[in-house]
Structure 1
Amino acid sequence: MAFDRFVPILLLLCSNVFMTFAWYGHLKYKAAPLWLAIVASWGIAFFEYMLMVPANRWGSAVYSAPQLKGMQEVITLVVFAGFSLWYLGQPLRWNHWAGFALIVVAAWLIFMEP
């Protein structure tokens, strides 16, 4: 069913927004104490896990674990590219896009039937 295939992808997308803020959001606040960045990141990551765990649990009914991981990596790159430009003000260069494209090719290979 299309719903079963779509829900894990939507949850992975949403969880990656939280993950990206947890991992990289503090870079905009380098003057803040490191301990505060760590605590804030853990707090944000809680919401990531609230979405990631169900995404993988429900997604495993439709996708293999390697497929879920490959999908996760591509979604992470898409979310990060937007985050880097919009939030951090750091646009990606051609070499970043080329490297990301190679990761997308790797994820595509994961979905190929042997």
Structure 2
Amino acid sequence: MTVSYPAVAPIVLLSLSNVFMTFAWYGHLKHKGAALFTVILISWGIAFFEYCLAVPANRIGHQVYSAAQLKTIQEVITLTIFVGFSTFYLKETVSLNTVIGFVFIAVGAAFVFRG
């Protein structure tokens, strides 16, 4: 079984883009003393790099995936990265209920890929 570049590249690029976006959206939570306007500007700067990865990921991925499938891939990646981010960067505990909720979302995502 050969895996094609258009099938794998979006997964890699979306994973990298989600690291940037997670920091843009949630990284400032460790710096609550920073001015909101400053945090917004820094978040926009970080998000620029997210877009530089996400846009090509979707352009390349649309050769083999539908838009709904690309969005589903992105959401599952987002949840996966978020769990790691909140655990290791924010030092927050991920509850069993959160894990169960994310599993239900992943099960729902699987239906998007069924025939």
| TM-score, normalised by the number of residues in structure 1 | 0.97
In 1, Cα distance between equivalents of 2:46 and 2:93: 24
Once the two structures are aligned, what percentage of the paired residues are identical?
57
Aligned length: 113
Unaligned runs of 5+ in 1: none
Unaligned runs of 5+ in 2: none
What is aligned with 1:90?
A: 92
In 2, Cα distance between equivalents of 1:43 and 1:64: 29
What is aligned with 2:34?
A: 32
SS across alignment from 1:61: coil
In 2, Cα distance between equivalents of 1:47 and 1:93: 31
CA RMSD of aligned residues (A): 0.7
In 2, Cα distance between equivalents of 1:3 and 1:66: 19
In 1, Cα distance between equivalents of 2:49 and 2:94: 27
What is aligned with 2:59?
A: 57
Letter in 2 for 1:33: A
Deviation at 1:3, TM superposition (A): 2.0
| TM-score, normalised by the number of residues in structure 2 | 0.96
User: Following TM superposition, where does structure 1 have runs of at least 4 consecutive aligned residues deviating by more than 6 angstroms?
Assistant: none
In 2, Cα distance between equivalents of 1:91 and 1:49: 29
In 1, Cα distance between equivalents of 2:82 and 2:52: 20
In 2, Cα distance between equivalents of 1:72 and 1:4: 15
Residues 51-109 of structure 1 show CA distances to partners (whole Å, capped at 9, x for unaligned) of: 00000011000100000011101000110000001100002000100110111011100
What is aligned with 1:81?
A: 83
